[in-house]
Chain A
Amino acid sequence: MPKTEPKRENDSVIIKGLDLDFKDIDVYLKEKQKVNSVQKNVSLNYPELREWDLNLLSYFKPFYAPLCDMCCMCTYGKCDLSNNKKGACGINLEKQQSRIALLTSCIGASTHAAHARDLVDRLLEKNSNLELKYSNLIDLTSPITTTLTGITPRTANELDEVMSCVEKELTNLMASAHTGQEGAHLDFESKALHAGVMDHLALEVAEIAQINLYDLDKGESNTPLLEIGMGVVDSEKPVILCIGHSIAPSSKIIDYADEKELLEGLEICGLCCTAIEQGRYSPKSKIVGSISRQLMFIRAGIPDLVVLDEQCIRADILELCAERNIPIIATSDKCSLGLPDRTRESPQKIVSEIMNGDSPGVLIRDMDKVGKVAVDLALKVKARTLTPRENSLQEEDLETLIKDCVECGQCERVCSAMLPITTSLSEAKNGDTSLLASFYGKCVGCGKCMEACSENIPLIDLIRMAAEEKIASEKYLIRSGRGPVQDVEIRKVGAPIVFGDIPGVIALAACSNYDKGEEEIALIAEEYLKRGYIVVAAGCAAMDIALYKDEEGKTLYEKYPGDFDKGGLLNLGPCVANAHAIGSAIKIANIFAKVPLENNFTEVADYIVNRIGVCVIAWGAMSQKAFAIATGANRWGIPAILGPQASKYRRLYLGNDLEPRNIKDQRDQSKVMCEPAPLHLAYSAESMNECMTLAAKLCIRPNDTPRGRMIKLSNYIDIYKKYYGTLPSDLHLYIRDEKEIPFKEKDEILKKLKEMNWKPRKSPHEPSICMG
């Protein structure tokens, strides 16, 4: 074919009769953008969402386990609500539990929303019309926001509008918890679920804002490996410890140190999600670990300076640091600790004020100033402490500290992890500190033992001293937070996940309140990685799974690739990056099944709950944020397994574990009896063994193909036998046809099925729980 040059005239191109004028295109795009920003109001259709909630809760009924039988929220009380009695306002114990669920969800969501608001305000300050940048490999840039609001934010202003909508919704939700408002437990629950997805909206906005503000990774799978652990911090250098969740102060500290060429001489480390944020910003920063290390690390006197931002900061941080002569810089209105506001003061004056001992710390709300003050101050504090440190608590040896213990057992009685502290102290008195040392990694670092001790024995310090060698060698590797999952990855795995060939996606989330130590979360991750599940992690869970090495001395992040693919282990980022775990399920619905997203929550959630084998495991869930994340996941139809301690959240959502489930086949609108899959929406597992078996079961979906179901059942049976030593007793509910029975146990299972009078049944073509 002869080549013909397109005819050019006035910025026009003519290709085979296609006449394109770039000016017209430009005008068209500008108009479209105008229409987008003018016509699309960010709003939510709560009545429609409530309908979904009530439907969902008819399958997964709230289960209440009161932590307290009383209500003390108004001056009519205290009211005794035990045995489901009513209080003065008319509320009974059941409703009170649902009200607390709403409040917990609102507190969690508000915390993430305030975090997101802070980031959006910074973005607006930079440029309100700033066009948001996303990865070229991602078209579905904000799956949560698009599905819930119909808006796909393209500018900082649009993120602001989304946040205004979230803030309005949260205000309404909190108002419902006031005395004399909502009065039905299911409506409280609907609102708790609503707060949960408001939390997810905030998470997504926060991530988009900070990725744009700080140019963080936008979905690359092969992010660098970073150092993590108490042993990675070089205390010979000036140590700046940042605690919390915001990247704002630490990024400025890193920038200033870099600008002054001081980065190599400083140790800038982080604790809790701020640590992951720092790692995303600069691979030179170090990660101490999750929230459970806070008390121990500070009491060890390692930091020369502590910089606080927001969330997961101990309320006694000021006293703790003062005891060790560690100055504090608070940087957020949300955590000001009674410190003087020195935002308008010159950096030099602030540094002198602290060095002179005029104040244990300061509040600085200007992040550029925080960067300068933190670096200058850390250098001066370190220089001062090169002479013997003026700690009010001089370190004594373990033997001296322990001798006053009267073995009353009070420490043991209040221990969150129920560690045998008394026995360990008794053995330590006789020179054997091995039991005491073994508490490192099991102790959740709450410090209640020290509060209960009549002899003021610093138990946390004793554990650290006993485990000194272990701590010094605590050097692990974690993959830096990658951010969102790429569309191209979803395209590759969408079908295998929906049909069951990839048996499931396990999303590890939440804090470090483990019942039997942090190793369990790594063991859970490894069990599923070995079986070809995709494991994604965020927040403290992402850090804790790094603190484990196999026989070859490798961490899970070194062993498994960071792709969203079979056997992939993804560190999505800090806890706000949980948005990407939820987002990936939404993307599967859209990219693989073409389910439209805009203002289409019910259809998307109905698709997820029936077809996408994803399960959240929040094994160490402690905070209200963790509850909000899990509750939001539940509304999307994603089940969540919580650890045994999380039973103290007081509310779970349970399905009927004894009978098949009545759902609808959308293809012919017929009612079908099918397996109860997923069985539960929110469940507190008793042990790691139960969590292991349940997660495999909760990845089963009505839509599985026979081959996919066989793969899922094969994993379920195998895991069950490993952790329970027997065959599951509910296989008759999940086997639809003989060909779904795994070959390995076929004879044994067939025999059992026969005993139960099992009959094959058809699976629905297009399963749905929307019965209306």
Chain B
Amino acid sequence: MINHYIVVSHIIHYKDIGDIMLAWNPALISVNQARIWPPKMAALTIKQSKRPLFIMGSLLNIIPEKITEKSIKIAKKINVTVVATGGSNLALDKYEFKPDHTMGVVEIINNLKNPDWKGFDGKGNYDLVLFIGVPYYLGSQGLSTLKNFAPHIKTLTLCRFMHPNADMSYPNISYDEWVDWLSKLIDYLD
């Protein structure tokens, strides 16, 4: 059951661990499932990255603003290139946050899968891509592209639905828990 687990630091105790770690839509089973990555691990991964990229998707326009606020805080804590996709600029604008780039999520994934892409700044491709707010099914497909055709890139999803095609993913969590996990991630990034 989704709500029946507690989080203590980065250790997770699940009453029904199998269910929570499955893809949000259980039909999206995958040969190589993502590893569940709690906030502390996520923070460590982000800190270790030399060239991270943060994709902020269109759902930011329709989910509670707190998520946008947290996403911006994460971006400001780290040296990351932020790409707004699908019109999320509108949500980001409310916080006077200007993304580094605006592009279609399919377009950015198409560029990322090319190991020779020079990146937005001409300094080369990225080594870690963070996702938040991309519609689940489209996000899942994009992650599948990167998983199968871009071995040079690691992906970490900060969404509240488990993404099996990511390398690392938050599990399926409730909205309140999601806010909590994002807050913890911000703290761990200090």
A82 touches B58 (CB 8 A): no
Q: Name which of A139-147, A283-291, A618-626, A678-686 contacts chain B.
A: A678-686
Interface contact A644-B138, CB-CB below 8 Å:
yes
CA distance A654 to B137 in the complex (A): 19
Whether a CB of chain A sits under 8 angstroms from the CB of B26 is: yes
Tell which of B24, B86, B145, B172 touches A686, judged by Cβ atoms closer than 8 Å. Answer: B86
CA of A690 to CA of B147, assembled, Å = 24
Q: Are A648 and B89 in contact (CB under 8 A)?
A: no
User: Which residues of B have CB within 8 Å of A418?
Assistant: 135-137
**Do the beta carbons of B149 and A94 come within 8 Å of each other?**
yes
A84 with B148, Cβ < 8 A, contacts A648-B141, A687-B86, A690-B104 known? yes
Task: Give chain B interface residues in 73-87, CB to chain A under 8 Å.
Answer: 85-87
Tell whether, in the assembled complex, residue B104 and residue A686 are in contact, meaning their CB atoms are under 8 Å apart: yes
Whole-angstrom distance from the CB of A752 to the nearest CB of chain B?
A: 13
- The reply to whether the CB of A136 lies closer than 8 angstroms to some CB of chain B is no
Q: Which of A82, A647, A690 makes the CB contact (< 8 A) with B141?
A: A647
Q: Is the CB of A690 within 8 A of B58?
A: yes
Nearest opposing residue in chain B for A515, CB measure: B135
Chain A residues in 8 Å Cβ range of B106: 63, 647, 652, 654, 683-686
With a cutoff of 8 Å between Cβ atoms, the chain B residues found around residue A66 in the complex are 144-145, 148
B137 near A648 with CB under 8 A, answer yes
Q: Is A70 an interface residue (CB 8 A)?
A: yes
- Does any Cβ of A come within 8 Å of B111's Cβ? yes
B163 to A: closest C-beta gap in Å: 13
Q: How does the 8 Å CB contact mask read for A15-57 relative to B, with 1 for contact and 0 for none?
A: 0000000000000000000000000000000000000000000
Are the C-beta atoms of A723 and B27 separated by less than 8 Å?
Answer: no
* Per-position binary interface string of chain B over residues 26-43, scored 1 when its CB falls under 8 Å from any chain A CB and 0 otherwise: 110011100000000000
**Given the interface contacts A64-B145, A409-B2, A725-B89, does A685 sit within 8 Å of B137 by beta carbon?**
no
Mark A359-370 against chain B: 1 for CB-CB distance below 8 A, else 0.
000000000000
| A58 is an interface residue with CB less than 8 A from chain B | no
B32: min CB distance to chain A, Å = 6
CA distance A80 to B30 in the complex (A): 10
- A393: Cβ under 8 A from any B Cβ: no
Shortest Cβ distance from B156 into chain A, in angstroms? 18
Q: How far is the CB of B26 from chain A (nearest CB, A)?
A: 7
A684: chain B residues within 8 A (beta carbon): 106, 138, 141
Give the chain A neighbours of B26 by CB distance below 8 A: 413-414
Task: Decide yes or no whether A662 CB sits under 8 A from chain B.
Answer: no
- Interface majority SS (helix, strand, loop, mixed), chain A: mixed
B168 at the interface (CB under 8 A from A): no
Kindly provide the distance from the CB of B29 to the nearest chain A CB, expressed in whole angstroms. Answer: 9
Q: Is the CB of B32 within 8 A of A69?
A: yes
Judged by a CB distance under 8 angstroms, whether B176 is at the interface is: no
**Which residue of the partner chain A has the closest CB to B91?**
A725
Q: Is B57 an interface residue (CB 8 A)?
A: yes
Query: Which residues does chain A contribute within 8 Å of B111, judged by CB atoms?
Result: 657-658
Knowing A82-B148, A654-B110 touch, does A723 contact B138 (C-beta < 8 A)?
A: no
B138 x A69 contact (CB < 8 A): no
Measured between beta carbons, the chain A residues less than 8 angstroms from B57 are 686
What number of A-B contacts does a CB cutoff of 8 Å give?
Answer: 125
Residues 53-89 of chain B, each 1 if its beta carbon lies under 8 Å from chain A, else 0:
0000110010000000000000000000000011101
Which residue of B25, B31, B85, B144 contacts A690 across the interface (Cβ within 8 Å)? B85
Query: Whole-angstrom distance from the CB of B34 to the nearest CB of chain A?
Result: 13
Q: Is B21 an interface residue (CB 8 A)?
A: no
| Residues in chain A near residue B86, CB distance under 8 A | 685-687, 689-690
Contact code string A493-524 (vs B, CB < 8 Å = 1, else 0)? 00000000000000000000001000000000
Chain B residues with a Cβ closer than 8 Å to the other chain, count: 41
A657-B107, A686-B58 known; A724+B89 contact, CB < 8 A = yes
- Judged by a CB distance under 8 angstroms, whether B12 is at the interface is no
Q: A84-B148, A726-B89 are in contact. Are A408 and B102 (CB under 8 A)?
A: no
Find out whether the CB atom of A70 lies under 8 angstroms from the CB atom of B31. Answer: yes
Q: Is the CB of A413 within 8 A of B25?
A: yes
The reply to whether A408 and B148 form a contact with Cβ atoms under 8 Å apart is no
B132 at the interface (CB under 8 A from A): no
Assess the B145–A65 pair: CB atoms within 8 A. Answer: yes
Provide the residues of chain B in CB contact with A723, threshold 8 Å.
87, 90
* B137 and A645 form a contact (CB under 8 A): yes
Decide yes or no whether A400 CB sits under 8 A from chain B.
no
Closest residue of chain B to A647, judged by CB? B141
Q: CA–CA, A65 to B28, complex, Å?
A: 13
Chain A contacts of B158 at CB under 8 A?
none
Contacts of A687 in B (CB 8 A): 58, 61, 86-87, 135
Q: Which residue of A lies closest to B142 (CB)?
A: A65
In the bound complex, CA of A719 to CA of B81 (Å): 26
Complex CA distance for A241 and B58, rounded to whole angstroms: 39
Q: Does A729 contact B (CB under 8 A)?
A: yes
A432 to chain B, nearest CB (A): 18
> What is the distance, in angstroms, from B144's C-beta to the closest C-beta of chain A?
5
Which one of A83, A685, A694 contacts B151 once the chains associate, using CB atoms below 8 Å?
Answer: A83
Q: A88 interface residue, CB < 8 Å from B?
A: no
A647–B137 touching, CB < 8 Å: yes
**Contact yes or no, A65 B102, CB < 8 A:** no
Name the residue on B nearest A69 (C-beta): B31
Q: Does B103 contact A (CB under 8 A)?
A: yes
Closest to A686 in B: B86
CB-CB nearest in chain B for A63: B110
Q: A682: shortest Cβ distance to chain B, in Å? A: 10
- Contact status B85-A93, CB under 8 Å: no
- The reply to whether the CB of A472 lies closer than 8 angstroms to some CB of chain B is no
Distance A693 CA – B84 CA, assembled complex (angstroms): 14
B44 within 8 A of A: no
Interface string of B1-23 (1 = CB under 8 A from A): 11000000000000000000000
Across-interface contacts of B138 in A (CB, < 8 A):
644-645, 647, 684, 686
User: What's the nearest-Cβ distance from chain A to residue B24, in Å?
Assistant: 6
**CB atoms of B104 and A694 under 8 A apart:** yes
Set of chain B residues within 8 Å of A685, measured between Cβ atoms = 86, 104, 106
User: Given the complex of chains A and B, what is the CA–CA distance between A693 and B26 in angstroms?
Assistant: 33
Contacts of B128 in A (CB 8 A): none
Q: Would B32 and A689 count as touching, CB distance under 8 A?
A: no
Q: Does B134 lie at the interface of the complex (its beta carbon under 8 Å from any beta carbon of A)? A: yes
Interface status of A67 (Cβ within 8 A of chain B): yes
Would you call A69 and B30 a contact (CB within 8 A)?
A: yes
B50 at the interface (CB under 8 A from A): no
A657 engages B103 (CB within 8 Å): yes
B101 within 8 A of A: yes
Choose from B27, B105, B107 the contact partner of A654 (Cβ within 8 Å): B107
B190 at the interface (CB under 8 A from A): no
Give the residues in chain B near A414, CB-CB below 8 Å: 25-27
Chain A residues with CB under 8 Å of B27's CB are 414
B residues less than 8 Å from A65 (CB atoms):
141-142, 144-145
> Shortest CB–CB separation between residue B168 and chain A, in angstroms?
17
CB-CB < 8 A to B101: which residues of A?
A: 729
A659-B6 Cα distance, complex, nearest whole Å: 49
Do B144 and A686 have beta carbons less than 8 Å apart? no
Report the bound CA distance from A686 to B139 in whole Å.
9
- Interface positions, chain A 139-176, Cβ under 8 Å from B, are none
Contacts of A82 in B (CB 8 A): 30-32, 147-148
B141 and A724 contacting across the interface, CB-CB below 8 Å: no
Q: How far is the CA of A563 from the CA of B116 in the complex (A)?
A: 49
Interface CB pairs A-B, < 8 A, 28: A63-B106, A63-B145, A65-B142, A65-B144, A66-B145, A82-B31, A82-B147, A84-B148, A413-B25, A414-B25, A515-B137, A648-B141, A654-B106, A657-B104, A658-B111, A683-B104, A684-B106, A685-B86, A686-B87, A686-B134, A690-B85, A690-B86, A723-B90, A724-B90, A725-B90, A725-B93, A726-B89, A726-B102
Query: Could you list 18 further interchain pairs (A-B, Cβ under 8 angstroms) beyond the known A84-B148, A657-B104?
Result: A64-B149, A83-B32, A83-B147, A93-B149, A413-B25, A414-B25, A414-B26, A645-B137, A654-B106, A654-B107, A657-B111, A658-B111, A686-B58, A686-B87, A686-B105, A693-B87, A724-B102, A726-B89
User: Closest 7 A-B residue pairs measured CB to CB?
Assistant: A689-B87, A686-B86, A687-B58, A65-B141, A647-B141, A687-B86, A644-B138
